[in-house]
Amino acid sequence: MAKTSFIFVLHFHQPIGQYRFVLERVQRNSYELLLRVLKEYRDLHLTLHFSGPLLMYWEKYFPEYLSEMRELIKNSNFEVLGGTFSESILAILPWEDRARQLREGVKLVEKSLGVTPRGLWLPERVWDPTLPPFLRDAGYRYVIVDDEVGYRSGLWRDDAHRAVLTEYGGKSIGVFFIDGPIRYILPWKPHGEVFNYLRNYATDNGSLYVLWGSDAEKFGEWWDPYAAEQWLRIFFSSLRSDPSVELITPSEYIKRHGFSGLAYLAPGSYDKMMEWSGGYFPNFLRKYREVNNMHKKMLYVREKLASLGASDSAWREYMLGQCNDAYWHGLFGGVYIPLLRQEVYSHLIRAERIAEEESSYYFGTPSIIKSFDFDMDGKDEIIIESKETNVYIKPSDGGSVFELDVKTPGAEHNLVSTMSRYPEPYLQGEKSLTPDWYRRVSFREHIWRRDANVYDWINNRPFIDTSDFALGEYVVEGVGDGKIVLSYTGRDWSDRQNPARIHLVKIYELVNEGKGLRVAYRWRNLEKRFIEPKLSVELHLLPRLSPDSQEEPLFVVDDNYSQKATEYFSSPWSRKVDFKTSMGHLSVASTKHAEVWVAPILTWFRTEKGLKSEFQGAGISFNYTVALNPGEIFETEVLLAWQ
């Protein structure tokens, strides 16, 4: 009788930085359900993958569950796949990190589940043709990719339903292809429709396979738990009794049918990922400056760890900072989820701090200042590093601060881990959602139109900024004694026929023993006439969030007015704004009174459940309406402090 070989792969994953309440909900709705069902069908030849972050979560929060899963695997016909240690995308990692992630991923599976994996689940199934040597050196015999990769590389239908070999540098690896169409019918369609599809690939010896590989969370989390469990039980029972479909693991398939030949596969992933990334995963680094920021921070920390001879504990934190979910955006929030960005930075900053402490990096000096092309855009950035804080300054982008790392042990955090608003295709037609025309970071300057208000500012009303300061390329006037001096000569175009030239000098300096950043401003009227500009110093900050709750940060103005950071506020005459969460305190103060605006950065992004709004940080603008005679100077200082 003709039969189809069917490979059924369940992929379990939760990202580094997941909210605790989400973990508990998915554990209850999906993972407990699946363990219960898998125990009853342990005779089936199923294939399972558990991501490194999830295994670590289970060890920490659900050790009994992990123990039960380990015992079940031991006494079943299941095959377990391996993966990278922190479910990192190999294609964007340095080659040395690829090897480390794969090697440590194998060790984690062996320690947690008691088995040595022979096959690899690629995070987000992102394939790169240079991977075979790394996979082979880690002990893997095969990898699972999407049929989209095969078809884009010139394979035919039957080619993508047989195991093939690919190689790079003379080292080969087996490849299995996930069948795209079946992912859209299983488990969403009736069982009969699924089995009819599988029978399309029936042969006398079962040499053609259909591989379903997708998220375990589809059973109970994405779909009603009761309906999901009933669907899965009927499906597994049918697999036991239907001779036209033979359930088989990848290793069993190789042993029985071997490989059909050699193929060379172009970079790629599943169809939706190809769409979201523009056909190549690293494009996310160009599409979102926040993603590129995290990625280049990762590369910089790696260089520091290697040069300082860092310990295993530092390297472990570094690898955790490579978890993929915050480095892209598709169906889920990805980079738009603040806690995911926060945790990437927390682990990278912690790795950096550990390496610095181990090597006495700051011995004999309170701070180190570096100038180099950090983000690899062809223009140098400046970094002030101290034992307590790192400040990242981009002269070519308004002389702004785009990263500010707090290095306090146990509270490591980037205070400027904010998210700008992008023109996502799925937001077209939403007239109230105007993308940002500059990156929402800190210490950027504007000259507002006199009638501009807080809503105009945060919602990007056109032409309310009458100057060219915001995107100006600032000149580095001086570096030394712990200070960075920048300057820019800009114009106020409020009178377009007669723009006013204004020279700005701003000086960055760490204060309060490295727990504060003071920025001194000196605005000078270069015209031979009187002017009255509305000068602005703008900051965007993300207070440290708690993974154990969904608390909303609060802010207090001038020590006497408190409200939620998700609300708007305007004061005609204030000097200080304090932000408070259960995780810390953040203060922004001006030496001169100003009109103060406070507003949330709210983004809308796509999820599997539709559009969702998210708080991405708080914006603060100190606005000074000044009167300047020819040559006259207005001076102020803004102090950012934290504890």
Once rounded to an integer, what is the mean pLDDT over residues 486-490? Answer: 98
Range list of β-strands (E), 99-152: 119-121, 142-146
Cβ burial of 213 (10 Å; 0-12, 13-18, 19+) is buried
The span from the CA of 587 to the CA of 576, in Å, is 7
Name the pLDDT band for 611 (thresholds 50, 70, 90): confident
Q: Tell me what pLDDT residue 517 has.
A: 98
Count Cβ atoms below 10 Å from residue 368 Cβ, excluding itself. Answer: 14
pLDDT tens for 28-76 read: 999 999 999 999 999 999 999 999 999 999 999 999 999 999 999 999 9
Question: Which is higher by pLDDT, 300 or 222?
Answer: 300
| Kind and range of the H or E run holding 37 | helix 32-40
Q: Per-residue pLDDT for 609 more than 80?
A: no
Q: Which helix (H) or strand (E) holds 428?
A: none
Q: What residue type is 504 in one-letter code?
A: L
Confidence of residue 294 (pLDDT cuts 50, 70, 90): very high
Where residue 329 falls among pLDDT bands split at 50, 70, 90?
very high
Interstrand relation of 400-406 and 413-414 (parallel, antiparallel or unpaired): antiparallel
Q: Is residue 136 predicted with pLDDT exceeding 90?
A: yes
pLDDT of residue 548: 87
Contact call for residues 442 and 401 (beta carbons, < 8 A): yes
Cα–Cα distance for residue pair 116/80, rounded to 1 Å: 8
Confidence of residue 152 (pLDDT cuts 50, 70, 90): very high
Query: 432 pLDDT exceeds 80?
Result: no
* pLDDT surpasses 80 at 431: no
Mean pLDDT of 249-256: 98
Q: Give 607's pLDDT tier (boundaries 50, 70, 90).
A: confident
Give me the mean pLDDT over the 512-527 stretch.
96
- For residues 160 and 153, the answer to whether their CB atoms sit within 8 Å is no
CB contact set of 498 (below 8 Å; sequence gap of 6+): none
pLDDT at 429: 78
Q: Does the pLDDT value for residue 326 go beyond 90?
A: yes
Query: What does the pLDDT read at residue 206?
Result: 96
State how far the Cα of 443 lies from the Cα of 353, in Å rounded to an integer.
Answer: 25
CA angle 102, 105, 107 (to 5 degrees): 115
**pLDDT at 535 > cutoff 80:** yes
Residues 86, 315 contacting (CB under 8 angstroms): no
205: exposed, middle or buried (C-beta count within 10 Å: 0-12, 13-18, 19+)? Answer: exposed
Close Cβ partners of 162 (under 8 Å, ≥ 6 residues apart)? 207, 208, 209, 257, 259, 260
pTM for this structure?
A: 0.97
Q: Using 50, 70 and 90 to split pLDDT, how confident is the model at 178? A: very high
| Alpha-carbon gap, residue 435 to 421, rounded angstroms | 5
Question: Mean of the per-residue pLDDT values for the chain?
Answer: 96
Q: Give residue-wise pLDDT tens across range 458-486.
A: 999 999 999 999 999 999 999 988 899 99
d(CA 147, CA 335): 26
Distances (CA, A) of 444 to 403, 435, 436, 441, 573: 13, 17, 14, 7, 21
560 has a pLDDT exceeding 90:
no
The pLDDT assigned to 582 comes to: 81
pLDDT of 428: 84
pLDDT confidence of residue 581: 83
The candidate with the shortest Cα–Cα distance to 397, out of 455, 448, 437, 424, is 437
- Residue 451 to residues 458, 466, 533, 575: CA-CA distances in angstroms? 14, 12, 12, 21
pLDDT higher than threshold 90 for residue 334: yes
Q: Residue 433: which pLDDT band, with cuts at 50, 70 and 90?
A: confident
> Does the pLDDT at position 430 exceed 90?
no
At residue 364, the pLDDT reads 86
* Confidence at residue 583, expressed as pLDDT on a 0 to 100 scale: 81
Q: Are 396 and 520 in contact (CB under 8 A)?
A: no
Q: 338-359 and 289-308 are packed helices; what angle lies between their axes, rounded to 10 degrees?
A: 20
Helix (H, G, I), strand (E, B) or coil at 303: helix
> Residue 549: is its pLDDT beyond 90?
no
Name the residue type at position 61: Y
Q: Which is nearest to 540 in space by CA: 402, 639, 423?
A: 402
Whether the Cβ atoms of residue 205 and residue 253 lie closer than 8 Å to each other = no
